[in-house]
Amino acid sequence: MENEEMPPGLSDALDAFAGYLSGERAVSAHTRRAYLGDVRSLLAHAASEGASVLGDLELGMLRRWLGVQSQSGAARATLARRSATVRSFTAWALREERIAVDPALRLKAPKRERSLPGVLQSSQLTRLLGQLEHSAADGEPLAVRNRAIVELLYATGVRVGELAGLDIDDLDPDRRTLRVLGKGNKERTVPYGVPAAVAVDDWLRRGRPLLARENSGPALFLGARGRRVDQRQVRELVNRLLEALGDTSASGPHALRHSAATHLLDGGADLRAVQEILGHSSLATTQIYTHVSVDRLRKSYQQAHPRA
């Protein structure tokens, strides 16, 4: 059900919430679309049950909406996200005095499944990065760029959107640090090592000048036509490279982020330092990587100990 098919009392609230997300919350375009999609779905369901204003929302209605989502095959993680969105929406409505009572206070989300992320072994990354270095040796600009992208993703653990948004001035080559604008427009500084520094310097000297155009602006990484590289291009690149390895189920740029975090913890890095590097707002999010490390330790123990 689109906005215009909803009762005015519901569609007006959805429009006001959209303005709140763009203004006060300043969330990313992707997050905004996800929030509004969830709330639109909820309000459409509420309208189908006879609701015409936000005050008609009640706990049973919210639970029935989630039940419909579950029956349609939504995963537990998706249901948990939608529950959180609804709680944000009704809390906003209460603050704005659009409702007198928050119907989502007792709305419980299903526990999220904490699956272990795909992690590359150090030997696999050595092989992958060695292949990229060899490909970049002849100076073909996209090959030089690809090497720098993968080196930087693994060295810093940044998200693919953060990498695509980098400008040249975000680099501090002397200190080997990167200024990153993360979720919620939060800025953080992330270190990177010598191999990534060499690859990025090579890109800036030999690759970028050959692709740069008048419309390139300050973007660190460029596509074949000289515009800022987009997330889709980076995802396709990394997926293709990981698939070519042939001995891993890991896929996408997030696998490099997972691998960076796991290898840092395996090497003795402090959990809070890794949290800061990754830009996690909660330490609990970072702690999943300790589970990955423990799982790998357990497998090593079972393979090596005679009485395992």
Residue 299 annotated as catalytic: no
176, burial (CB in 10 Å: exposed 0-12, middle 13-18, buried 19+): middle
Provide the β-strand partners of residue 219.
Answer: 167
Residue of 6, 101, 2 lying closest to 55 (CA atoms): 101
Q: Looking at 40, 145, 228, 257, which residue is catalytic?
A: 257
Residue 289 annotated as catalytic: yes
Residue 280 annotated as catalytic: yes
Q: Looking at 45, 82, 145, 159, which residue is catalytic?
A: 159
Q: Looking at 35, 154, 192, 289, which residue is catalytic?
A: 289
Residue 25 annotated as catalytic: no
Q: Looking at 45, 228, 263, 280, which residue is catalytic?
A: 280
Residue of 37, 169, 12, 185 lying closest to 96 (CA atoms): 12
Q: Looking at 176, 183, 188, 296, which residue is catalytic?
A: 183
Give the Cα separation of 66 and 136 in Å (integer): 50
Provide the β-strand partners of residue 189.
Answer: 179
Give the Cα separation of 17 and 89 in Å (integer): 7
Distances (CA, A) of 48 to 7, 37, 41, 62: 10, 17, 11, 12
Catalytic residue set: 159, 183, 254, 257, 280, 289
